[in-house]
A and B are shown apart, each in its own frame.
Chain A
Amino acid sequence: MSKVRLLVGTRKGAFVLTSDGKRKQWDVNGPFFGGWEMYHLKGSPADPNRLYASQTSSWFGQVIQRSDDGGKTWNPPGTRPEDLMGGDGMPKGESNMFLYDASAETGKPLTTHQWYDGSQRPWEFKRVWHLEPSLTDPDTVYAGAEDAALFKSVDGGKTWKELAGLRSAKGQLWQPGAGGMCLHTIVLDKGRPDRMFVAISAAGTFRSDDAGKTWRPTNKGLVSKYELPDPDAEVGHCVHCIAMHPSRPNVLFMQKHWDVLRSDDAGESWREISGNLPSDFGFPIAVHAHEPNTVYVVPIKSDSEHYPPDGKLRVYRSRTGGDEWEPLTKGLPQQDCYVNILRDAMTVDSLEPCGIYFGTTAGQVYGSANGGDSWAPIVQNFPAVLSVEVQVLR
Chain B
Amino acid sequence: MIRVVLPAHLRTLARVGGEVTLKVEGPVTQRSVLDALEAQYPMLRGTIRDHGTLKRRAFVRFFACEQDLSHESPDAPLPDAVASGVEPFLIVGAMAGG
Find the A residue at minimum CB distance from B14.
Answer: A79
Cβ of B44 < 8 Å from any Cβ of A?
yes
Q: By DSSP majority rule, is chain A's interface helix, strand, loop, or mixed?
A: loop
B42 close to A59 (CB less than 8 A): no
Instruction: Give the nearest-CB partner of B59 in chain A.
Output: A59
Smallest beta-carbon distance A35→chain B, Å: 6
The proximity string for A residues 72-101 relative to B, scoring 1 for CB distances below 8 Å and 0 otherwise, is 000010110000100000111111111100
Q: List residues of B (44-89) whose CB comes within 8 Å of A's CBs.
A: 44-48, 50-52, 57, 59-60
Listed stretches A60-68, A144-152, A367-375; interface member = A60-68
B1 contacts partner chain A, Cβ-Cβ < 8 Å: no
**Chain B residues, Cβ within 8 Å of A97:** 45-46, 51
Q: Is the CB of B9 within 8 A of A90?
A: no
Assign chain B's interface to a size class. Answer: 20 to 34
Q: Are A61 and B47 touching (Cβ within 8 A)? A: yes
Q: Which residues of B contact A92 (CB under 8 A)?
A: 42
Nearest Cβ distance between residue B2 and chain A, in whole angstroms? 18
Closest approach, in angstroms, between the C-beta of B92 and any C-beta of chain A?
9
Residues on B with C-beta less than 8 A from A79 are: 42-43
Q: Which residues of A contact B46 (CB under 8 A)?
A: 61-63, 93, 96-97
Of A59, A99, A125, the contact of B98 (CB 8 Å cutoff): A59
Give complex CA distance A79, B40 in Å: 11
Within 8 Å CB of B9, what residues of A? 35-36, 57, 59-60
Task: Check A93–B44 contact: CB distance below 8 A.
Answer: yes
A78 (CB) vs chain B CBs: closest residue: B42
Q: Given A35, A63, A91, A94, which contacts B47 in the complex, CB threshold below 8 Å?
A: A63
The total of chain A residues at the interface (CB under 8 A) is 24
**Interface contact B51-A96, CB-CB below 8 Å:** yes
**Whole-angstrom CA separation of A61 from B50 in the bound complex:** 8
Question: In the complex, are the beta carbons of B45 and A93 less than 8 A apart?
Answer: yes
Q: Is A103 part of the contact surface with B, judged by Cβ < 8 Å? A: no
Measured between beta carbons, the chain B residues less than 8 angstroms from A93 are 38, 42-46
For B52, give its contact among A36, A62, A99 (CB under 8 Å). Answer: A99
Residues in chain A near residue B10, CB distance under 8 A: 60
**Contact surface of B with A, Cβ cutoff 8 Å:** 7-10, 13, 38-40, 42-48, 50-52, 57, 59-60, 93-94, 97-98
Q: List 6 A-B contacts (CB under 8 A).
A: A59-B57, A79-B42, A91-B38, A91-B40, A96-B47, A98-B51
